Structure 1
Amino acid sequence: MVKAERKRGLRARWLVFPVAALLGWGCTRYVGTHADPGSTKPTPSASASASAPAKAAPTPGGTYDPADYAPQVRTYAKKAGISAQLLMAILYNEDYKPHDPAFERSWQKYKPDAAFGIANMHRAAFDQTKRGRDFASRKWEELPDDRALAVEAAAWYLHDMSEQLPSHWSGPYSRDELMALGYNAGGGNMAAFARGAKPGSQAGDYLARLRENWKKAGTAVGG
């Protein structure tokens, strides 16, 4: 009951927007995380194979089930060398707001620093993550319409977080938990958490939701 109320509360925050934003969208339809570029240092990857997962079309109205993207999650997690369960859990964490392409673009005009796509990635984080990778020619503006691209970018961002982790850390978090905290708060904060710093309320809530979503994320990807 508490979990359901928390999720409804998170969604409610994104459904009560300024009238100007709703009018700009036409008042016909129904936005954290996000990868903060922080101190990320992407490492160019080898060329990906030509057989990437097919682009999945967004569901009208902005609703969707992250589990529907399990094939893309497994494929890109494997390419990026990260846990598919972690990547799926991140998608569940980011499912607190509607993901309708038209609405995301309308909201971005009202709030230029808003995140795009089902993985809620900011422009600077996407532009930094794509460097040297097979999606380097893609644009951040494509994320709302191409959910496979959003999954791919999130996978490589998590890869970059993994590359920044020290060999040993004193904090009470697992590797995957630290990477998720890095996705939410940036590489610099992730390093601080690895040294034992206590996450603030936003990062702490993100970690709590990750743990809540962990089991169903594993089920979704067949883990």
Structure 2
Amino acid sequence: MAGRRTRWGWLALVVAAVVVWGLVARGGNQPSQPRAGSPSPAPARSPSPSPSPSSSPSSSPGRDAAEPSPSRTAGARYDPADYAAEVRARAGQAGVGARLVMAILYNEAYKPHDPALERAWQRYKPDAAFGIANMHRAAFDDTKRGRDFAGRRWDELPDDRDLAIEAAAWHLHDLAARLPARWTGPYTRDELLALGYNTGSANMLAFARGASPGSQARSYLDRLHENWEKAGRAVARQP
């Protein structure tokens, strides 16, 4: 998740990823594709080409077959608010607040979310996070167990933004299950869940007991507060 690296650290390193991407493109290598027969996102709601909606168990109900708008295609300008329908649906399934999920997406939108660029960067830095919710492989593999998307792969996240939202919502659900009934720290439930998303469950529990966040965690929490109002507006708007 995003807290493994500061926003400015990413911006300083993304130039290297662009160089790697250029080298990969000139060498004729293509970004990895989902395995044959593997569920994939619907073309109407996904940032990249994929099979029909019927092949994807993590597609949201009611997806249409219309051409995707520029904001929903790979490489286009990304706005988390364009995924309000998915956020509401996935948050509802996971039993977490849609506003919190949306605010997390805004927090994680500090870097480009282009599938080719993400994969190029991952070749340069194998422990990098994938998808619009910036999820690491271990977190995704742990979260998907026993869920409807258990058969999906972490490296599908850059291509399937709905899958990224679904995994993030269930990860927040799992973090919430680890919270004690009462805590002494000065944080709300949503603040603790955001800190857990950013720093891990062990740190979240330490903050619940009154530990003070470090500078990166504090910055993440500050950004959550900054994004809270527009996250509320985003999930309230109808498609």
TM-score norm. by structure 1 comes to 0.80
Map 1:112-127; keep pairs closer than 5 Å: 112-127=126-141
Aligned AA (1:219): R
State whether structure 2 residue 94 is matched by structure 1 residue 86. no
* Correspondence for 1:177: 191
State whether structure 2 residue 139 is matched by structure 1 residue 139. no
CA distance in 1, matches of 2:9, 2:180: 33
Bigger Cα displacement from structure 2, 60-69 vs 120-129: 60-69
Q: Deviations over 1:91-125 (max 9, x none)?
A: 00000000000111111111000000000000000
State whether structure 2 residue 88 is matched by structure 1 residue 52. no
Note the residue ranges of structure 2 that are not aligned, 5 or more in a row: 1-5, 27-56
CA distance in 2, matches of 1:50, 1:76: 9
Where 2:146 maps in the other structure, the secondary structure is coil
CA distance in 2, matches of 1:187, 1:218: 25
1:149 equivalent among 140, 163, 167: 163
CA distance in 2, matches of 1:51, 1:107: 27
Aligned AA (1:86): L
Q: Percent identity?
A: 63
CA contact (8 A) 1:25 1:103 kept: no
* Correspondence for 1:162: 176
CA distance in 1, matches of 2:126, 2:11: 21
State whether structure 2 residue 25 is matched by structure 1 residue 17. no
Note the residue ranges of structure 1 that are not aligned, 5 or more in a row: 1-5, 28-48
* Correspondence for 2:31: none
CA contact (8 A) 2:94 2:169 kept: yes
1:95–1:10 CA distance, 2 compared to 1 (3 A): farther
State whether structure 2 residue 209 is matched by structure 1 residue 195. yes
CA distance in 1, matches of 2:203, 2:23: 36
Q: CA RMSD in A?
A: 2.5
Deviation at residue 189 of structure 1 after TM alignment: 0.3
CA distance in 2, matches of 1:92, 1:98: 12
1:207 equivalent among 221, 224, 229: 221
* Correspondence for 2:32: none
* Correspondence for 1:110: 124
CA contact (8 A) 1:162 1:179 kept: yes
CA contact (8 A) 1:129 1:153 kept: yes
Where relative contact order (Cα < 8 A, 6+ residues apart) is larger, the structure is 1
